[in-house]
Amino acid sequence: MSEERNMVTVYILGEHFMVPEGSTIMTALEYSGFQLKRGVGCREGFCGACATVYREKGEYKLKGGLACQTVVSDGMTIARIPFVPAEKAAYNLEELKPDVSTFVELYPSVFRCVSCNTCTKICPQDINVMDYIQDIIKGDIASAAQTSFDCIRCGLCALRCPAEIVQFNVGMLAQRLYGKYLAPKSPELETRVAEIEEGKYESEIKRLKVLPKEELVKEYYERDIKIT
C-alpha cells in the first residue's frame, strides 16, 4: 500500500481525500478508510450494487457509472447511490399475455415516455434503454427483451427518468415474457426430460456408480470426445 504512486484528489460526498491515480471509485473509497457495506457487491460489473453519480473537475455534466468499473480523475466529486426506491409489480407469470396489454396493466408509466433519452445516456452498460421502452409501447416485446437483456439493474435510468418509469423492472418483465412465451421451444429438451423420467439411462448410470475405480478411470480416459 505504501508504494510510490501519483496521487489524485477526490471529493467523497464532498469531502476531500487523496487516493492513488488509477484507482476505481470503489478502491478509492476503501483506500480512504471506508469499509463498504452498502453499494458494493460483485466488484466486477455484474450485480449493479454500486451505482454512483459523479462530476468531473470543470464539467457541467452529471455522469453515472459503476463504482467498481469507473476510474477516478483528479478533482472528481462522488456520491454513491446504494439503493433505488422502485416500483416492482407483483404478478403471476402464468397468467400474463406476452403483449403490450400486460405493460398497460402492470407498468402504465411506460406510456409516459417523452423520448428524452436521458436513461440511455446514463446507462453504465451502454444499453439503448429508451429504445426498449419504445419497443414496448410499439408492442415489440421480443426486441425489448433482447435490447434490455444486459441490464444489471443498477437503477440509474429510473432515477434520471422525468416520466418516473422504472426501466429495469420493465425490461425484466419483457425478458421473462420472451423467455417463457415467445422464444421458440427446444424439441430436444422435451424429449430428453421425458427419457430421463422413463428411466432410459438409469441402468447405465447405476453401473458406473458401482464400477471399481480402476475400471472407471480407464473408461473415462478412453471416452470418445466429440466437441465442435
Contacts (CB under 8 A) with another protein, residues 149-208: 149-150, 152-153, 172, 175-180, 183-190, 192-193, 196, 201, 204-205, 208
- 22 or 108: CB nearest another protein: 22
Stretch touching another protein by CB under 8 A, among 29-37, 53-61, 73-81, 102-110 = 29-37
3-state secondary structure 49-96: CCEEEEECCCCCCCEEEECCCCECCCCEEEEECCCCCCCCCCCCHHHC
User: Quick one: which of 41, 120, 122, 165 contacts another protein (CB under 8 A)?
Assistant: 41
Stretch touching another protein by CB under 8 A, among 6-14, 52-60, 89-97, 131-139 = 89-97
User: Quick one: which of 4, 13, 14, 33 contacts another protein (CB under 8 A)?
Assistant: 33
- 116 or 196: CB nearest another protein: 196
Stretch touching another protein by CB under 8 A, among 7-15, 85-93, 100-108, 133-141 = 85-93
Instruction: Output 1-7 pairs: Cβ under 8 A, ≥24 positions apart.
Output: 1/31
Closest to 141 (Cα-Cα) out of 180, 114, 115, 108? 180
CA distances from 171 to 92, 128, 191 (A): 16, 11, 31
User: Quick one: which of 14, 16, 44, 198 contacts another protein (CB under 8 A)?
Assistant: 44
Q: What are phi and psi of 32, to 5 degrees?
A: -80, -5
Site for another protein in 51-70 (CB under 8 A): 69
**For the window 117-136, what string marks contact with another protein as x by the rule CB under 8 A?**
--------xx----------
Please name the residues in contact with 202: beta carbons below 8 A apart, sequence gap of 6 or more: none
User: Quick one: which of 16, 58, 92, 95 contacts another protein (CB under 8 A)?
Assistant: 92
Angle made by CA atoms 86, 161, 179, in degrees to the nearest 5? 60
Stretch touching another protein by CB under 8 A, among 35-43, 73-81, 133-141, 156-164 = 35-43
User: Quick one: which of 79, 93, 104, 116 contacts another protein (CB under 8 A)?
Assistant: 93
User: Quick one: which of 9, 11, 30, 73 contacts another protein (CB under 8 A)?
Assistant: 30
DSSP state of 185: P
The three cell numbers of residue 68 are: 467498481
DSSP state of 174: H
- Provide the CA 73 distance to its chain's centre, in angstroms: 25
